[in-house]
Structure 1
Amino acid sequence: MDHAIASILFFCLLAPAQAQINPDNTLGAESSRLTPNVLINGVNADQIDGGALRGSNLFHSFTQFNINDGQRVYFGNPAGVQNILTRVTGEQASNILGTLGVNGTANLFLINPNGILFGKNASLDVRGSFVGTTANAVQFGNQGIFSATNPQAAPLLTINPSALLFNQINQNAAIQNNSIALAGQDLEGFDAIGLRVPDGKSLLLVGGNVSMDGGQLNAFGGHIELGGLAEAGNVNLLWNGDNLSLGFPENVTRADVSLTNQARVSVTGAGGGNIAVNARNLEILEESVLSAGIAQGLGTPETVAGNITLNAIGEMVIGSGSEIGNVVYWGAKGNGGNISIDSGNFLLQEGAYL
C-alpha cells in the first residue's frame, strides 16, 4: 500500500480548521438542536436534541459535524430509542478530536461520505454499539433509505438498518483512527486506551480505506470489524440481538485496511470476542496487534473464545514485531478461538507472530 497516498488522505481529512456542528434544514421542523453546557456524567457538555423520531430510530442531519479537542458532544436519547443515525450532508470530512457520546443506551451511527478522522484525544462515551462509515446511505429493508448525498426528510424507517449503501464513491474519503485517549480499564485492571465501546458491544469502521496510525480500538468480549468498498456496492448489516456485524458480498470491490505505529485492536475478555477485517489489501505493520481470547483470571472450563477472521483478496502483510493472537491467558479457563486467514498473497515477515 502506498503510504504517501495514505498521508495525503490524512491531511485532507484534517482540512476543516474549526470544529463546527451545524444542523441542516432537511428534516424541517424535526431538525437537530445543539444545547451547550448540559451536565452529563457530572461534566459540562454540548447535547444534541431534536431530530426525526421514527419508531425506535432517531435521525439527525448536519451540514458539518466536527468535535474539537477537549469538547464533549452527546446525543440525547429519548425513551424507547435504540438507534441514533447521524448523517453529514455537506462536503467536509468529520474531525472527531474530543468526546463523542450518547446520553443513554442507543447504538450510534455516524455517516459521512467525505471521511471521518478520530484524533489522538478522541474518545467514545456510548453504552451501545458504534458504527462509523463513509457510506452515502443506510438502507432499512424495504422501507427505504436514509441518504447523506440525496438528503430528504426521514421517511417511515422504523426497523433496524439492514445495509450500508456505497452508490456514490468519494475516492478521497477514508476513516482514520489515531486515538490513544484513556478509556478506563480493561478486564485485567490495566489502562485501556483508544476508542472503546462497552464490553460485549460492537465497534464497526466501514470506509473507504480504513487506517489506524498508532490508534487503538477496544470492545472487550464484543465485536470489532474493519472494512470498506473502493467502488459502488452494498455492505449488509447483520444483527444478533442489539449487536452488529458486516456481510460483504463476493462481488464488491473492497478498499484497503492498514494498522501501523503500534496500532492495536482488542476484544480480549471473558470469552466470545471477535475481530473481522474485510479488505483488498491488509497491512499490520510496526508492532501493531490484533488481540482476542480469554483474559487473565477469567472464563470457565466451558468458555470458548471468539475468532479472528481476516479476508484480503489482494495482499496481506504482517510486519516484523506485529502480532495476531487469540490466546487463553495465564490463569484463564476455557478454549481458544480460531484465527482464519484468506488472502490472495500472504506474507508473514521475520519477527512477526501468529
Structure 2
Amino acid sequence: MRREVGDRVVTPFIASPISWRVMAIPESMTLLSGTARRWHSLDPLLPDAAVVRERGGFEWVAAPGRAGSLLYRTHRLEATDLGSIWREPCTATMVPMVGDGSPRELDDLLRWWREAAGPELGERLSTGAAYMWLPSRDTWAVPTLHRHGFQPHTMLVVRDYIGRHPPPLPSDGLRICPATLDHAEDVIFLWQEVIAYDSQIGICRDGEQTAAILRQATFELLARREQAIWMAELRGVPVGLCVVDLPAYCDGVAAYVRCDGPAYISAFGIRSDQRGKGIGRRLVAHVHALLAAAGHRTILLHHAVMNPLSAPFWARSKYRPLWAVWRLPAPEWRGRNFT
C-alpha cells in the first residue's frame, strides 16, 4: 500500500505501523538517482533504480534514522504456478538502496529489517524465503550478506551482442528444430530432466505436481504465435531443450537490464547421458542466430550458483553476470541471532 500526501510518499512496512517512516519525494529521488549513477558506473547494462522500482512493482521501505532504504515486495504463488517449482509459496524480494556501496549502511539496514519484519514475516511466510538482488559487481556486500545468513542462490546473466553469424551446421546426426505439438511429450520429458538435475543442488523442488505443471506450461508455450521452444535431436532421439521468452513475455525480468525488449532463456538442458558432447553449445548457438536474425540483441537468463556446469558453459557462450540473487530462508530470519 502506498499513499501520496502533498510532497511526501508514505510507505507502510508490511510488519507494523511503527516500522515505516515518511520519506520526502526529493529525498527518495536523490537516493534513486545516486544509486542509478553508482550502478551505471559498475556496468552500463544495469538499469536506473527508478525503473527497477516502477516496473518491478516495489515499494519503499525506509528505516527511521537510517541513511539507506529497501525496494521491497512480497509475493504469493499458487501451488499450480510454474514458478512454484523454483520459488517458495511466499517470498519477499529486496533491492538495497545504500550510498556509495557502504557495508556499514547495508549491515545497519538488514539489522533493522530483521527486527521490524522478522516476527510477522516469520508467521506469514513460514515456508517462504527472502531474496536479495544486488549488482554482481557489488562484492563489498558479500561479507555482510553472509553474516546475516544470506547464501548465494542464482545469477542473472546477460549477453548483449549476438551478431548475425549463421548457426553451426549439424553433424553426427544432430538436428535442431522448433518444437511443435507433435513434440509435446518429448518437451515434457526433457524439461523433467532439467528439474530433476536442478533439484539435486537445491535450486528447485521436484514435487507431486511438477509433471502436471510442466505439461500445462508446455502446451501454453506451444500455443504462442512466436516460436518459444527449440529441441536438439540426435539421430531422431530428443536430447536437448531450450525455452525462450520473447520480449512480450518477460516484462518482469526486463526491469533489471538497461535495454529495450530483451529475450529471456527460461529453460535449457541436455539429457544427462549426452552432456559434454557439444550438443548444448550447438543448440544455444542455433537459438542465438535465430534471435539475432529477428533483431533481438540482448538475452538474459538465470543460472544456479551451486550448479558446477552452469557458470563455465554460459561464460563460454559469452554471457556475463549482471545481478547476484541471495536467499535467506524463513527459519533463518526468524531465529538467527545476528552479530
Quickly name the TM-score band, shorter chain normalised.
under 0.3
Return the index of the structure with the highest Cα Rg: 2
